[in-house]
Structure 1
Amino acid sequence: MSGTTTAAGEAHLPSPAVPPAFFAGRFAGQVVVVTGSAQGIGEAVARRIAAESGQVVLVDRAELVHQTAASIRVAGGEAASATADLETYAGAEAAIAAAVSAYGRIDVLINNVGGTIWAKPYERYAPEEISREIQRSLFPTLWSCRAALPRMIDQGSGVIVNVSSVATRGVNRVPYAAAKGGVKAITAALALEGAPHGIRVVATAPGGTEAPARKVARGPAPAGKQELAWYQQIVDQTVDSSLLKRYGTLEEQAAAITFLASPEASYITGSVLPVAGGDQG
């Protein structure tokens, strides 16, 4: 069986062809907001929750999110969608307000927005690039939690699942690592504040994940041999750090996120679950 190839051109061991195991009705009666859900992990999570009877609100800054939601409805799921710039508090507040307007409440918030824009040694980052990385991968979680929390407190219940990364211990993306370290800190600290209100706050820390080519790019593609080499160092470390010596799949990431979001994880809060083939980050 042949391996797969990433954008950087390296081959690695294939992921197992295991179909996702859906749990009928697991999210029945629950309103679930999934950010960054136009594509990638967020889309996989939204599709799975809809298949498990959840009322899903897909949020993304790309207009593509409306097509994704429409395809979920065609498949028999219940889904609404909203575009918002979650790097601002106004955008996060508007997205949460749209979810409440659509379904009357918000039971689960899954914060999935983020992603490396550049891959290079830290001394090569321009100051404005560092700021952009932090804006992209920390503030959407910070603002979305702030927007959703008062609604959950009023309800006396709620679940927040943040998506961090094992790249907090990784090469060539220090600003991204700092942002995702902040997501882990939000999870730990907010769990303390949320618990008296019946609110759980948890996170996953994905490792390298195979996905189709992005329809909307996060940032510029590597330009030239040096930038490709820096990106390749990330890929090599990702595979080497995984005990399973491979990338994960979208389905494997979605399975962990949906478990933590579900009532099955009702006694778990303040925890970060690495989903990286044994890499603890």
Structure 2
Amino acid sequence: MPEGGGIDLSQEPAIYSPQRFAGQRVLITGAAQGIGLAVAHRIAYEDGSVFLVDRAELVHDVAKHLAEAGKGTIGSATADLEAFEGATAMMDAAIEALGGIDVAINVVGGTIWAKPFEEYAPEEIEKEVTRSLMTTLWSVRAELPHLINGGGGTIVNVSSVATRGINRVPYAASKGGVNALTAALALEAADKNVRVVATAPGGTLAPERAVKRGPGPESEQEKAWYQQIVDQTIDSSLFKRYGTLQEQAGPIAFLASREASYVTGSVLPVAGGDQG
């Protein structure tokens, strides 16, 4: 059976709400793997017309498998969202495929290195910020005019409870920026009928990534620093475990849906009780 990141795309999600996104055109970034893929799977089965974006060519396979499952209008594109030109190209492709968008879900980001702040080289700090803040900032800047011109819509950003986490200060600072972006833009965009919200996932179990974010821990010291992150993540959860991809996709889908029409400016922690 076709699978994407451990998810059988031909099978219904374990929990979903049929027709919740009927008539809605939904752009999802980071959709080839992990949380973004789980969100794409769920919203497609909730009858949304989805356009999937990722830097990995794998995103086209995900779109193909969802289309074969008969799940509405499915489009895809590769884009480098670390630059504004990539974000505008993404929007051009989405508009061509769907005619417009009603919802944008921005999932791109992730820790590249795991180590104490004094161990980061200046260029590593810049890469972390580019990956986990600028991708969302550029995406939102490209998405917003289309939502406003279309009469309104919803932006859902994916942040992290790691804003209070060890061994990844540049990533934490980046996700703090995503939280600030969400709150400030919600104030600006409300009178334009645009909602801006976010979730802040905690540690999430996912299959090994086909396209890795970074080199991964290699030395014994690097492995120890990474283990400190794992230990803190589990200890900070009231359930003492990592979450699942489905447990992250559900809150994102809710906030993106019309059920959350009176929610804006909020960042929802999804981390087993860890508030970040």
How does 1:92-241 map onto structure 2 within 5 Å? 92-241=87-236
Aligned residue pairs total: 263
Gaps of 5+ in 1: 1-18
Q: In 2, Cα distance between the equivalents of 1:277 and 1:75?
A: 32
Counterpart-to-counterpart distance in 1, 2:244 and 2:209:
15
In structure 2, distance between residues paired with 1:242 and 1:258: 22
Q: Distance in 1 between matches of 2:14 and 2:194?
A: 28
Q: Does 1:70 align with 2:59?
A: no
Superposed CA RMSD in Å reads 0.7
| 2:20 partner amino acid | R
- What do the CA deviations read for 1:188-245 (whole angstroms, capped 9, x no partner)? 0000111001000000000000001111111102011100000000000000000110
1:110 and 1:140 map into 2 onto residues whose CA distance is: 12
Instruction: Specify the SS of the correspondent of 1:183.
Output: helix
Query: The residue matched to 1:159 in structure 2 has which SS?
Result: strand
How big is the shift at 1:79?
A: 1.1
The reply on whether 1:25 has 2:19 as its aligned counterpart is yes
Deviation at 1:20, TM superposition (A): 3.0
Q: CA deviation at 1:147?
A: 0.5
Residue 138 of structure 1 aligns to a residue whose secondary structure is: helix
Quote the Cα distance in structure 2 between the aligned partners of 1:63 and 1:155.
Answer: 29
Structure 1 residues 40-88: Cα deviation after superposition (integer angstroms, max 9, x where no partner) = 0000000100000001000001111101111111111131000000000
Other structure's SS at 2:108 match: coil
Unpaired stretches in structure 2, ≥5 consecutive residues: 1-12
Runs of 4+ in 1 over 4 A off after TM superposition: none
Please, what TM-score do these two structures have when normalized by structure 2?
A: 0.94
- Calculate percent identity across the aligned residue pairs: 69
